[in-house]
Amino acid sequence: MKPSLNNIKRKVFPMVFAVLVALAVIAGRLVYWQIIRGEELSQRAKNQQTGSSMISAQRGKIYDRNGKTLAESASVDTLVCNPQDIKANKNSAFVAKKLSPIIDMDVDKIEELLTKDSSYQVIKKRISVEESEEIRALMTVEEDEEPPEKEMSFGGIYFEDDSKRYYPFGIAPHILGFTGYDNNGLQGIELTFDSELSGKAGEITIKQNAKGQTLEEQQAEYLSAAKQGADVVLTIDETIQHFLEKYLEEAIHEYELKEGAAGIVMNPKTGEVLAMSTKPDFDSNNPYDIDLFNEFEMQFDFSKKSDDPEATPAPTEDPDNLSDEKIGALRNKMWRNKAVSDSYEPGSTFKIITAAAALEEHVVNENDSFYCPGFKVVADRKIKCASSAGHGAETFEQGVMNSCNPVFIELGQRLGAQRFMEYFTAFGLTEKTGIELVGEGSSIYYKNGMSEVDLATSSFGQGFQVTPIQLITAISAVINGGERMRPQIVKEIRNGNGILKSYAPEALNRVISEETSQMMREILEKVVSDPDATGKNAYVKGCRIGGKTGTSEKGNRNEFKRIASFVGFAPANDPEIVCLVMLDEPQIDNKYGGTLAAPLVGSLIEDVLNYLGVEKQYGEDEDPIIKTEIPDVRDMSVSEARSAVSEAGLQYILKGSGDTIVKQLPNPGMMLDEKSMIILYTDDTEPEKVKVPDLVGMNVVNARETLNMLGLNFEVAGAGHSEFYNAYSIKQSVPVGEKVEPGTVIGVEFRQNASD
């Protein structure tokens, strides 16, 4: 009997239903995988099939004001690997062993990186060109050579483009700073303008199989190109920076400065910093190396010294065995920029501010009379002057020239505590300057009123602290016509398309009048030009330098720790530069700023003015320095040579009995002071060399006569009044006992004793 239609339907329906349900489930799963999770799975597949890495952006350059490159990045290689390739090739031990001596890394450390559970691993960043070439040579298989076995191959090792920071001139490390492991700024301008300098990294992808191994026929694809960082142009002048660093470096050793030195050169009209230095410093190309700084620190570790010459020297710490804590402390001190971070008592350099405020408030005029017995009693205190015998009767102008404490105490009293603090604030000494450097320090001053004694000591620069950048900014306002300028160290930020941001000079407020400023310039010029004033050792003929000395106490007053300082500016009638130098804890007997810092600043200013092409300005009582070129008198008759030499304003010594000049010393073309000596020879006899005498301690007359008697030429070197009876020589350009040719010029530097 045939099955009924209903029976057939009953049997088919469940089957159809099951098929439809199955199709619905399949469709649902398709929708789930393709639509709901499709994008996610697609991305996961892409991630599995490709590897990516970042392409470092070229960091922008840092220039000085004249376009000299102070910091730049050079293209180098970073060594990377794909640990999955290394695993497939089973070559980790071989690769680690070969790379270790080339990149100077421990074999076990390299193998640890090669066997990481990842498809991308950095082995060493920014390897040298020599390292890259050596590794490439190992990786290269010549065409006529058999390919190496898997365990002898470098499969999985790659190079990535990277950049390394260089500082070509090796100057201004505290300004420029340095970069870190990831090419990010860590100190100085590199840190302050890190976002501008860094640029934007790019990305590259590489095709891989499902195991994360790089495909043999890989195709690199750039997802985005790296964008180079912007350039930063500083107000710094590389040449002036070099001058400043040279003089501070010499001072470090000559004066045995236990806590180093700092200096700033600024344009007082604009607030632009032309140079800034802290010594000792570090190498921005190798900023973590503490060896030289540690040596400097150890030479002043008096706890390891003995007064007994027979005693065995105490052992010093081995630089290789310093604790991590000690290394960190040394680096932090080495990187610290004293010029902006450290506050100190300015001492007598602050008298410029007190004097300007007193003149502006008309509580004194330049001819007011004062009397100094060597001290002044304030409340229950007897405050001494630097001159224990006293200066006697003196005018206000003479009081500034003498740096007389009693005069300035009286000025403070005439101003009163309230007005004194108003000017302290107006000159910007209660706030940070905002200069574009990290770590700027703050001043320490009286916030809750001043006692009578506080006012007295503050008037001559003690009892409070300011930073060097605050002080030079305030003094610039005194000499530039009366306006306080914001100090700046950056001129502009730019890229290939032009200037992105420009930093113009900014006047913050007027503190004193043009008339007061002019009067202060005239008085401060006399502090230097007068041979009896405290700043006489900064004098340079024709430079018209004004300035003020300072010797401040530090720490416990009885420990005799001192900071010797000097602030100078030139030309005094229209200042182009102002310079502040502080010498921290000199370990020699004479610790006065007038003796140590003043001549340094004078010589520095002379070099800077010559470099800037500022013409000499001689006063009525100054005889210009005249140099004359040595004529060539060889092959002339004796009479002709005599006439030529005399016409040049030179003197001569004749050697030999011949009729014709065959040789002369010094050689023709050299420039000598008028009335210098040249030696004329009428035969071929080889000139006998002269032994240089010891000139230290002599005055100008004795030094010149001593050299002339030996057939040597004399020249005054360095800053300071040298022509006065109490000036004594402290240094000579050629060491004692060295043998030189007749006619050689010996430069001699002179000083006068000075106090502040």
Q: Going by C-beta distance under 8 Å and a sequence separation of 6 or more, which residues neighbour residue 143?
A: none
H or E segment to which residue 715 belongs:
strand 713-717
Task: State both tokens at 81.
Answer: 């690997």
Q: 475, 460, 482: which is closest to 360 by C-alpha?
A: 482
Residue entry with tokens 């940070």: 432
**Can you tell me the distance from the alpha carbon of 637 to that of 243, in angstroms, rounded to the nearest whole number?**
45
Q: Enumerate residues 6+ apart whose C-beta is below 8 A from 469.
A: 264, 339, 340, 433, 435, 440, 487
Structure tokens of 265? 């050169």
Helix H or strand E encompassing 233 = strand 231-234
Tokens of 127: 């390897």
Q: What phi and psi, each to the nearest 5 degrees, are found at residue 165? A: -85, 135
List helix spans (H) across 52-199.
83-89, 92-103, 107-114, 129-139, 173-176, 188-192, 194-198
Annotated catalytic residue 643? no
- Residue 273 Cα to chain centre, angstroms: 11
Cβ–Cβ < 8 Å for 415, 358: yes
- CA distance readout (Å), 550 to 10, 307, 593, 695: 115, 31, 5, 29
Return the closest-CA partner of residue 348 out of 145, 594, 16: 594
Pick the catalytic residue from 348, 403, 552, 722.
348
Q: How many residues does the chain have?
A: 756
The C-alpha R_g of the chain, in whole angstroms, comes to 37
Residue 650's CB is within 10 A of a number of other CB atoms, namely 20
Q: Which residues are tagged catalytic? A: 348
